[in-house]
Amino acid sequence: MSVTTSAIVLADEVVNQLPFPGFFFGLIAFVIFMSFGLVMWSYRDVANRHPKKSAEFAQTHDLHGHGDRTGADH
């Protein structure tokens, strides 16, 4: 047999059968990424839930982009 004939014969065989159709792999990945996005979205605005800590931070940090306490300029 030649290489071409062997390739044609082997191409008809199923090497690995998937457990479910390929569409579901994409669907599973989409659901996982949406779940991660939901977790990240749930942490939005967490710093502002503690007004005392936010006020202390605002008093001790320069919010206008000037040099900070370490002497490093932005």
Residue for token digits 């008093």? 59
Q: Which domain holds residue 27?
A: 21-61
**Total of domains in the chain:** 1
In a domain, 74, yes or no: no
pTM, rounded to two decimals: 0.48
CB 53 within 8 A of CB 47: yes
Q: What is the pLDDT along the chain (74 residues), one digit of tens a residue?
A: 677 777 777 666 767 788 989 999 999 999 999 999 999 999 887 767 777 777 777 777 665 666 555 555 44
In a domain, 11, yes or no: no
In a domain, 9, yes or no: no
* Closest-CA residue to 54 (of 41, 65, 63, 67): 63
In a domain, 32, yes or no: yes
In a domain, 48, yes or no: yes
In a domain, 34, yes or no: yes
For residues 48, 52, 58, 60, the Cα torsion angle rounded to the nearest 10 degrees is -140
In a domain, 43, yes or no: yes
